Amino acid sequence: MSVKRKAVVLIADGLGDRLAPALGNRTPLEAAATPALDRLAAEGVVGLMDPIKPGVVAGSDTAHLSILGMDPYAVYTGRGPFEAAGIGMEVRGGDVAFRVNFSTVDDDLVVTDRRAGRISSGTDQLARALNGMDLGDGVTAFFKESVAHRGALVLRGQGLGAAVTDVDPHATGEKVWTAVGSDPASEKTARAVNTFVRRSFEVLSAHPINQERIRQGLNPANIALPRGIGVAPDVAPFDEAWHVKSACLVETGLIRGIGIYLAMDIIDVPGANGGLDSDVMATAQAIVDALADHDFVLCNIKGPDVAGHDGQAEAKAKMIERIDSAVAHIYAHIEPDVSLLFTGDHATPCEVGDHTGDPVPVVIWGPSLVPDAVTTFSERAATAGGLGRIRGVDVMPIMTNLMGVQHKFGA
């Protein structure tokens, strides 16, 4: 195709909602004044999007995988691989990865503090003592610290499965559990996990950092407890899969991890803190700037999800108004041939305080669209939209079609 264009996919995390009594039985998006989004709707096409499929309650991670063109049922078994990638660990297809807590246990391996006194320094040295450990069976453990008491573990070896029970009892006063695998590949993983946990207790108990903590009356970080197991999927780098040069501007570590895993260019925006006071105008300008040397930009603004989890409908409407200003800034500063898609990765209704499987409104604005009759942007208005009802996994084919970078399937 001759025409090559750029595109932005802007995701307001947890955007979708339900009728809120506090807002006169309107959704936060309906109650918010959103002139910029309404203009996108009037000039473009709107519809409803099921992040995964109708009714399915999506996580932010599985929804983003879907929106980035993958089948989350095929590539997602747990968040571990993306957490590990997000803190800069190398994760290869077939690796099994975990989030890890440094915790405190007594000599009988009963958990006395799941967060090891919220340890705030020295975990890099503890991590180094665990990294590169040979767990037998040809399995090697790679370990890296994250913030506070957190870290990530990557197991590398042939034929590792992910159907493995937890070792972290998720409660104090309980003994660390023994991992069990439900098939031969997962049994191999379970053996490696149990070995890792036991060895972590031996290594960490003796570590000078913990000897010093005990001297200071602090809980030692004397065990590493993995959870959130996932098999790292074998996926092509995003730019290779979609014939684009992409940038990823996101506020949450997990989505950042997905971007890193897909080898997207990660752009950090100072002031984009993932909260209700996040500097969304800085994010808007960063999107405009990123378009100078990228042709596809993914952005996630976390605020609406935070308000939704807190059940704060008014705060959510206000956050959406702030995002609307950012959209106005983008609209005013991008080239006229850029396509822009705005949606949520899932609904986080204030009445629930958690994700739901409701469809979310979506608007696509840009050249080459046959417009529909909808002139405002909301859950309700989107039901009459010309896009109809699409799925998260449709986003990349639709956008690369508008960009003119997709290869024809057939002749």
Is 48 an interacting residue with respect to a second copy (CB under 8 A)? yes
Piece in contact with a second copy (CB under 8 A), picked from 53-61, 127-135, 160-168, 299-307: 53-61
- Residue 166 sits in the site that holds a second copy (CB under 8 A): no
Residue 15 binds a second copy, judged by CB under 8 A: no
Q: Is 371 in the site for a second copy (CB under 8 A)?
A: yes
The string over 120-154, giving b where at least 16 C-beta atoms fall within 10 Å of a residue's C-beta and e elsewhere, is eebbeebbebbbebebeeebbbbbbbbeebbbbbb
What is the contact mask toward a second copy in residues 298 to 337, using x (rule: CB under 8 A)? ----------------------------------------
- Residue in 38, 61, 265, 321 binding a second copy, rule: CB under 8 A: 61
- Exactly one of 12, 40, 63, 341 binds a second copy (CB under 8 A); which one? 63
Is 94 a binding residue for a second copy by CB under 8 A? The answer is no
The reply on whether position 59 binds a second copy by CB under 8 A is yes
Q: Is 243 in the site for a second copy (CB under 8 A)?
A: no
52 contacts a second copy (rule: CB under 8 A): yes
253 contacts a second copy (rule: CB under 8 A): no
Interaction of residue 254 with a second copy, rule CB under 8 A: yes
Among 76, 102, 196, 201, the residue binding a second copy under the rule CB under 8 A is: 76
24 binds a second copy (CB under 8 A): no
- Choose, by CB under 8 A, the member of 4, 33, 35, 54 that binds a second copy: 54
Long-range pairs for 315-321 at CB < 8 Å and ≥24 separation? Answer: 315/276, 316/17, 316/28, 316/350, 317/23, 317/28, 317/29, 317/31, 317/32, 318/32, 318/276, 319/276, 320/12, 320/15, 320/28, 320/29, 320/32, 320/34, 321/32, 321/33, 321/34
For a second copy, the closer of residues 194 and 339 by Cβ is 339
Instruction: Based on the shown chain and the rule CB under 8 A, indicate whether residue 409 belongs to the binding site for a second copy.
Output: yes
Please tell me whether residue 123 binds a second copy under the rule CB under 8 A: no
Angle at 225 between CA 223 and CA 229, to 5 degrees: 155
Region binding a second copy by CB under 8 A among candidate stretches 174-182, 210-218, 259-267, 394-402:
394-402
d(CA 1, CA 322): 38
Under rule CB under 8 A, residue 74 binds a second copy = no
Indicate the residue type of 149.
H
Chosen residue from 21, 35, 55, 93 binding a second copy by CB under 8 A: 55
* Nearer Cβ to a second copy (273/401): 401
From 136, 73, 61, 69, select the one nearest 99 (Cα to Cα): 61
Q: Which of 197, 133, 189 is nearest to 168 (CA)?
A: 197
Residue of 5, 6, 79, 114 interacting with a second copy (CB under 8 A)? 79
Q: Judged by CB under 8 A, does residue 53 bind a second copy?
A: yes
Closest CA to 319 of 350, 359, 361: 350
First to last CA, the chain: 13
Residue 116 Cα distances to 105, 169, 210, 217, 222, angstroms: 9, 15, 10, 12, 8
Q: How far apart are CA 328 and CA 221, in angstroms?
A: 48
Question: In terms of CB distance, is 292 or 370 closer to a second copy?
Answer: 370
Out of 22, 57, 209, 266, the residue judged to bind a second copy by CB under 8 A: 57
The span from the CA of 409 to the CA of 411, in Å, is 7
Minimum gap (Å) between residue 385 Cβ and a second copy: 7
Binding of a second copy by 408 (CB under 8 A): yes
- Alpha-carbon torsion (19, 21, 26, 32), positive or negative: negative
Nearer to a second copy, 19 or 281 (CB): 19
**Which residues lie closer than 8 Å to 181 by C-beta, 6 or more apart?**
161, 163, 164, 165, 187, 188, 189, 190, 191
Question: Other C-beta atoms within 10 Å of 224: how many?
Answer: 31
Closest contact distance (angstroms) between CB of 66 and a second copy is 10
- The count of other CB atoms within 10 Å of the CB of residue 381 is 18
Which stretches of the chain bind a second copy, using CB under 8 A? Answer: 1-3, 18-19, 27, 45, 48, 52-63, 72, 76, 79, 228, 254, 349, 351-358, 368-373, 379-380, 383-391, 394-401, 404, 406-411
